[in-house]
Amino acid sequence: GMAGGGGGVGGNAGSLTLNASGGAGGSGGSSLSGKAGAGGAGGSAGLFYGSGGAGGNGGYSLNGTGGDGGTGGAGQITGLRSGFGGAGGAGGASDTGAGGNGGAGGKAGLYGNGGDGGAGGDGATSGKGGAGGNAVVIGNGGNGGNAGKAGGTAGAGGAGGLVLGRDGQHGLT
């Protein structure tokens, strides 16, 4: 069967704009028996106080493989309440095939939290959870995404900031 089309990539915020976040990635297209489309990556944040956009979710496939989730966009130099990496998109589900893998969370800006990894898609075999994004100076690492319902590999948590911050939690299986 035909593969699903990939989701569009989210736009990057202008580098010198205030409070501008990256755009979210689009969702992947569905497929009957081929591999569904992957979610688009999230756009990166503006330089000050913005956050990365979320990755798009992978598409659904009836009898093929679910699409992979898109990667979350990166944060930039920001205040403590922002500069977060975007969340990774969830992997797409499949009825009889494999679920798609979750997207990785985006890396934080100098200050801010890493994005959470996306969940793995459900299927006869599960997709893997995406890894959490790393923090840089001050901020927490993103949490890893959970594996799909059939079990499998969950995502690792991202690293906390060098000066202050905790590591993200490992996803659940």
> Is the distance from CB of 171 to CB of 146 less than 8 angstroms?
yes
* Whether pLDDT at 122 is above 80: yes
Residue 7 lies in a domain: no
pTM of this structure: 0.93
User: What is the arithmetic mean of pLDDT over 103-132?
Assistant: 96
Residue 3 lies in a domain: no
Cα–Cα dist 107/142, whole Å: 9
Residue 38 lies in a domain: no
Mean pLDDT score of the chain = 91
Q: What domain range includes position 163? A: 51-56+64-173
pLDDT tens, 13-43?
876 667 788 899 999 999 999 999 999 999 9
pLDDT tens, 94-111?
999 999 999 999 999 888
Residue 170 lies in a domain: yes
User: What is the arithmetic mean of pLDDT over 120-143?
Assistant: 97
Give whole-number Cα distances, 91 to 31, 44, 88, 100, 152, in Å: 14, 21, 9, 4, 13
- Write the CB contacts of 66 (distance below 8 Å, at least 6 apart in sequence): 35, 36, 58, 59, 60, 91, 92, 93, 94, 97, 98, 99, 100, 121, 123, 127
**Residue the block writes with tokens 């299927």:** 123
DSSP for 59-114 reads PPBSSSPPPPPPPPPP--S--TT--PPPPPPPPPPBSSSBPPPPPPPPPP-SBSPP
pLDDT tens, 74-84?
988 765 556 79
pLDDT at 82: 64
Residue 107 lies in a domain: yes
Of the chain, the percentage scoring pLDDT greater than 70 comes to 94
Cα–Cα dist 57/22, whole Å: 16
- Please tell me the total count of domains within the chain: 1
Cα–Cα dist 36/60, whole Å: 6
pLDDT at 79: 54
Residue 112 lies in a domain: yes
Q: Bigger pLDDT: 27 or 8?
A: 27
User: What is the arithmetic mean of pLDDT over 60-86?
Assistant: 86
Residue 42 lies in a domain: no
Q: Strand pairing partners for 94?
A: 61
Residue 20 lies in a domain: no
pLDDT at 11: 86
Q: Bigger pLDDT: 47 or 8?
A: 8
Q: At 46, is the pLDDT very low, low, confident or very high (cuts 50, 70, 90)?
A: confident
pLDDT at 5: 83
